Structure 1
Amino acid sequence: MDFFEKSIIELQNQRPIFHSEDDLKLALAFNIKENNPEFEIRLERPVELEMINRNGKKTTVRAPIDIVVIDTNGNSYPIELKYKTRKANISLNDENYILAEHGAQDVGRYSFRKDIYRIENYKSKNLNYKYGYVLILTNDKAYFEKNVFEKDNIDKHFSFHNGALLNPFDLSWNYSKMDKTKFILNENNVWCNIKSQEHWTCKKENFYKLDLLKDYEITWIDFSIIEKTIFKYCLIKIE
C-alpha cells in the first residue's frame, strides 16, 4: 500500500463525507503531508499538455493538476480528483453537508477518461514521473451501477461502471444516436445543426480524442454509508 492508498483509507474513518471537490482535495493533501512531512505538495499545479481534437488538430493547453506530490528524490506523483454528488442534506458530527446535484453524467464519464489521458500525457513529458492516480468519489449510483454501454446512450463508450474495461482506443461519442434530421457532419468532422452551431460533444474539451496507453479495469469500492447515502470510489493507478 502506497502513501495515497493509505490516505484514502484513513479518510474513510476521519472524513466519510466532503462538502465539495476542493474540500476533498485539501483533506487528501493535508493527510498526505501529515503522514509524509518530507514530501512537497502542490495544489492546482499548471502543466502544458498536448491534446488532439477528433478532427486531428493538435493544441497545447495549460491545465492544472489537482495534486502533485514530490518525494525527497524529486520523483513526482500527479493526482487528479473528481467528487460527483447527487443532491443530499446530511448531518454528521454537528456539521451539515448540503451536497450539490451535479448531474450531467455523460460529461462526467468523458471527463474521467480525460483525467486518465492527462496523467498519461503528464507521464510522457516528465522524466521524474513515478506514478500517478485518478480518483473519483461519488454518491451517484449512475456511475458505478449503470452500464450505459448496454443502454446504447451517447456516452456508451465512456461507461466506467463496476466491472467495466476501459478500451485504450477512444471510440468517440455514440453518434448513431444523433438525430440526423437536425445535425449534419461538416467538412471538419464536426456535427452542426442547420444554423452551423456545433453539437455540445464537438465543443472545446468534449471534442478531444482520448486514446489511452493501455486498458484499465474498473472496480468500485465502498467508501462510506451515511444516513442511507452510499459513497463509493474508483481509483486508477497509472504506472
Structure 2
Amino acid sequence: MDFCDKAVFELQKERPIFHSEDDLKLALALKIKEQNPKFEIRLERPIELEMIIRTGGTKIVRAPIDIIVIDENGGIYPIELKYKTKKACIPYNEEKYILAEHGATDTGRFSFRKDIFRIENFKSKNLNYKCGYVLILTNDKSYFEKNVFEKDNLDKHFSFHDGMLLNRSDLSWNYNKLDKTKFILKDDNILYDINSKMHWTCNSEYFYKLDLLKDYQITWNDFSKFEKTNFKYCLIKIEI
C-alpha cells in the first residue's frame, strides 16, 4: 500500500464524509503529511499544459493541480480529485453535512478522463515525476453503477462504471444519440443546432481530445455507509 492508498484508507476511519471538495482536498493533504512528515505538500499549484482541440491544433491552458506531494528526494506526485455528491443532509459526529446536488454526470465523466490526461501530461514537463493519482469520491451511484456505454448515452465513451476498461483512445461524444433533425455536424466538425448555435460539447474544455497513454481498469471501493446514502471511491494510480 503506497502513501496515497494509505491516506485514503485512514480517512475512511476518521472522515467518512466531507462538506465539499475543498474539505476533502485539505483532509487528504493533511493526512498525507501526517503519515509522511518529511514530505512537502502544495495545494492548487498552477501548471501550463498543452491541450488538444478536436478540430485540430492545440491550446496552452494554465490550471492548478489539486495536490502536489514532494518526497524527501525531490520526487513529485501530482493528485487530482473530485467530490461529486447527491443532495443529502447527514448528521455525523456533531456536525450536519448538507451536500449539494451536483448532477451533470455527463460532464463529470468527461472531467474524470480529463484529470487522467492532465496527470499523464504533467509527467512530460517534470523530470522528477514519480507517479500520479486521480481520486473520485461520490455518493452518486450513477458513476459507479450506471453503464452509460450500454445505454448508448451521449457520454457513453466516458463511462467509468465499476469493472470498465477505460480505453486510451478518446472516441468523443456519442453524437449518433442526438436528434438529426435538430443538430447537424458541419464541415468544421462542430455540431450546430438549427439556429446555428454550437452544441455545448463543442465549447471550451468539453471540446478537448483526451487520448491517453494507456488503458485504465476501473475499480470502485466502499468508502463509507450511512442510513440513506453510501460513498464509494475510485483511485487511479498513473505510472507511465
> Which segment is superposed worse, 58-67 or 219-228?
219-228
For 1:14 and 1:187, the matched residues in 2 are separated by 55
For 1:188 and 1:100, the matched residues in 2 are separated by 38
Give CA-to-partner distance per residue, 1:82-102, whole Å, 9 cap, x none.
Answer: 000000000001100000000
TM-score normalised to structure 2 length: 0.98
Say yes or no: does 1:84 pair with 2:84.
yes
Q: Match for residue 26 of structure 1?
A: 26
2:149 alignment partner, SS class: helix
Alignment of 1:220-231 (within 5 A): 220-231=220-231
The letter of the residue matching 2:8 is I
Q: Which runs of 5+ in 2 are unaligned?
A: none
Q: Match for residue 104 of structure 1?
A: 104
For 1:22 and 1:227, the matched residues in 2 are separated by 24
Give RMSD over aligned pairs: 0.8
Shift of 1:126: 1.0
Give CA-to-partner distance per residue, 1:54-88, whole Å, 9 cap, x none.
Answer: 11120000010000000111110000000000000
Alignment of 1:51-62 (within 5 A): 51-62=51-62
1:233 alignment partner, SS class: strand
The letter of the residue matching 1:131 is C
Say yes or no: does 1:153 pair with 2:153.
yes
- What number of residue pairs does the alignment pair up? 239
Q: Match for residue 141 of structure 2?
A: 141
Shift of 1:230: 0.5
Say yes or no: does 1:206 pair with 2:206.
yes
Alignment of 1:38-187 (within 5 A): 38-187=38-187
Q: Which runs of 5+ in 1 are unaligned?
A: none
Shift of 1:228: 3.2
1:13 alignment partner, SS class: helix
TM-score normalised to structure 1 length: 0.98
For 1:198 and 1:126, the matched residues in 2 are separated by 36
For 1:22 and 1:196, the matched residues in 2 are separated by 39
Shift of 1:186: 2.3
For 1:192 and 1:92, the matched residues in 2 are separated by 47
Give CA-to-partner distance per residue, 1:138-160, whole Å, 9 cap, x none.
Answer: 00000000000010000001110
For 2:198 and 2:42, the matched residues in 1 are separated by 37
For 2:118 and 2:232, the matched residues in 1 are separated by 23
For 1:124 and 1:51, the matched residues in 2 are separated by 13
The letter of the residue matching 1:209 is K
Alignment of 1:192-203 (within 5 A): 192-203=192-203
Shift of 1:187: 2.7
For 2:187 and 2:70, the matched residues in 1 are separated by 45
> Which segment is superposed worse, 192-201 or 67-76?
192-201
Shift of 1:171: 0.5
For 2:124 and 2:147, the matched residues in 1 are separated by 31
Q: Match for residue 235 of structure 1?
A: 235
The letter of the residue matching 1:213 is L
The letter of the residue matching 1:178 is L
